[in-house]
Amino acid sequence: MARVVRRRWSSGLGMSREDRRGCEYEAYIPDGLVGRRFLFEGDVAADVSDAEVAVAVFNASGVTLANSEALARMLLRAESVASSHIEGLIIGGRRLLRAEQARATGVSASDITAEEVLGNIDAMTWAVDVLSSVPEITVDGLCEVHRRLLEGRPFMGQYAGTLRTEQNWIGGNGFNPCSAAFVPPPPEQVPELVADLCEFMNEDGLPPIAQAAIAHAQFETIHPFADGNGRTGRALIHVVLRRRGLTPRVLIPVSLVLATRSESYIAGLSASRYRGPADTSAARAGVGRWVAQFAAACGQAVADAESFDARVEKVKADWREALGSIRSDSAAALLLDALPGAPVVTVQGAAELIGRSFDAVNEAFRQLEAVKIVKQVTIGRRNRAFEATAIIKAFSDLERQLASPASDTQIEPPSRPTPPRRP
């Protein structure tokens, strides 16, 4: 039975008397998930079904770029940018792509924010590729995702990959939970709850989107780590969807939608935190509200990803027209297919990407630069790279589109920082 426990916070550190004061606070302990019966009203079940059909069709036949993995890579970057944005790490697509290419060429990190977001991409990639294919998700596997997210972060290395042993809280100040918006379970409850969550993610009795929604809400409620809970919890969404076979090729950018609808996102999570028995009408209504909201976010993510896919195909068509008649197996033709997934790339990186010689790719870039498909840029101090400006603009447009609650910034302005509108 979900409940709260009252605890006493002793006075501690802080700049002001208010920060140093002690107080009584309530920590929430959710029900376990394994063995619970989840019953959804007809409209909630219909929302989940509609979202799953949209995601499945998008992955199976509605993606023109999925075979080359170009769209998959771009949407993974977009998803990681949004997940990081929720945690206060703001970065634009061009800056991230240039930092990614700089790292690929061995240039030492100078953009700390970009490096942290790139670490988020690496951790999410590992989580989706590995945890979705192992026989079962374990607590150790979950901790490994977290370790990879926090790896290299100043002051946080000691907490990476380790379940918390102290009380944490959300909102209020950093010194005590007296004014917190939500206080997760006490630390002694965390190991059992996390083990239950992992076991639940290994089951297949619920529709995948409902399972991903409930697992994500439970993870955020437990808040099992000292830091990095948000990004780890959003990575788990994609682990569940890939594990259940709903997103075998392309992740949907659901974090972009949740970041835009941050107030309703938090309200939906809060609604799922009922008190008392799980089978009461109020408890079921709260969980149903969150699941329906999550399903709607998945449906919106698919629609926006399809829009981006169509935009990139239009860019490629324009490129082919500008380049004129070329052999389908030429380095230039192969680059046209590769650039949407690697909009900033060195000659050597492109040669490895398409399996052609350095000289052939260098000549192909000269052809593409002559018709303004790419432009030369400098990565780090001396490294030469080429940038497909139209793809980066399309990526920025996707960020702007997904930052608008109406999916159109001309109808409703962005609800969070975005790249500026291009002419």
Query: Does residue 240 form part of some domain?
Result: yes
pLDDT by residue (tens digit) across 288-311?
999 999 999 999 989 888 888 888
Query: Does residue 20 form part of some domain?
Result: no
Q: Which of 155, 168, 105, 183 is nearest to 345 (CA)?
A: 105
pLDDT by residue (tens digit) across 311-332?
888 999 999 999 988 888 899 9
pLDDT bracket for residue 158 (50, 70, 90): confident
pLDDT by residue (tens digit) across 97-152?
777 777 777 766 566 777 777 777 788 888 988 999 999 999 999 999 999 888 76
250 and 288 assigned to the same domain: yes
Give the three-class secondary structure for 187. Answer: helix
CA distance 250 to 66: 7
- Which of 26-35, 55-64, 83-92, 346-355 has the highest average model confidence (pLDDT)? 26-35
Where among 251, 272, 307 does a domain terminate?
307
User: Torsion-angle region of residue 418: left (phi > 0), alpha (psi -120 to 50) or beta?
Assistant: beta
The whole-number pLDDT of residue 423 equals: 47
CA distance 217 to 287: 9
- Whether 254 and 407 have beta carbons less than 8 Å apart is answered as no
383 and 264 assigned to the same domain: no
Q: Which of 257, 252, 255 is nearest to 302 (CA)?
A: 252
CA distance 96 to 71: 16
- Whether 131 and 137 have beta carbons less than 8 Å apart is answered as yes
User: Which residue in the block uniquely carries the two structure tokens 């890939």?
Assistant: 242
Query: Does residue 410 form part of some domain?
Result: no
Q: Structure tokens of 72?
A: 């998959």
pLDDT by residue (tens digit) across 235-283?
899 999 999 999 988 888 888 788 778 889 999 999 999 999 999 999 9
- Which of 172-176, 199-203, 410-414 has the highest average model confidence (pLDDT)? 199-203
Using the predicted structure, report yes or no on whether residue 8 has a pLDDT greater than 90: yes
225 and 269 assigned to the same domain: yes
Question: If you average pLDDT over every residue of the chain, what do you get?
Answer: 85
126 and 39 assigned to the same domain: yes
341 and 288 assigned to the same domain: no
CA distance 230 to 219: 9
Backbone angles phi, psi at 138, to 5 degrees: -120, 170
Torsion of CA 151, 156, 162, 167, to 10 degrees: -150
Give residue 356's domain range: 321-403
Using the predicted structure, report yes or no on whether residue 406 has a pLDDT greater than 50: yes
For residue 360, the domain's CATH number is: 1.10.10.10
- The number of beta carbons lying within 10 Å of the beta carbon of residue 144 is 18
- The number of beta carbons lying within 10 Å of the beta carbon of residue 183 is 22
219 and 100 assigned to the same domain: yes
Mean predicted confidence (pLDDT) in 218-246: 93
199 and 228 assigned to the same domain: yes
Structural domain count of the chain: 2
Query: Does residue 177 form part of some domain?
Result: no
Where among 246, 279, 307 does a domain terminate?
307
201 and 65 assigned to the same domain: yes
Query: Does residue 390 form part of some domain?
Result: yes
For residue 149, the domain's CATH number is: 1.10.3290.10
248 and 393 assigned to the same domain: no
Torsion of CA 172, 174, 178, 179, to 10 degrees: -10
Beta bridge partners of 386: 345, 376
What is the enclosing helix (H) or strand (E) of 236?
helix 229-243
Mean predicted confidence (pLDDT) in 63-83: 59
- The number of beta carbons lying within 10 Å of the beta carbon of residue 284 is 18
201 and 291 assigned to the same domain: yes
Where among 280, 307, 334 does a domain terminate?
307
- Give the CB-side neighbour count of residue 314, counting CA atoms within 13 A: 9
- Whether 81 and 96 have beta carbons less than 8 Å apart is answered as yes
CA distance 383 to 107: 9
Q: H/E/C letters for each residue in 297-363?
A: HHHHHHHHHHHHHHHHHHHHHHHHHHHCCCCCCCHHHHHHHHCCCCCEECHHHHHHHHCCCHHHHHH
pLDDT bracket for residue 154 (50, 70, 90): low
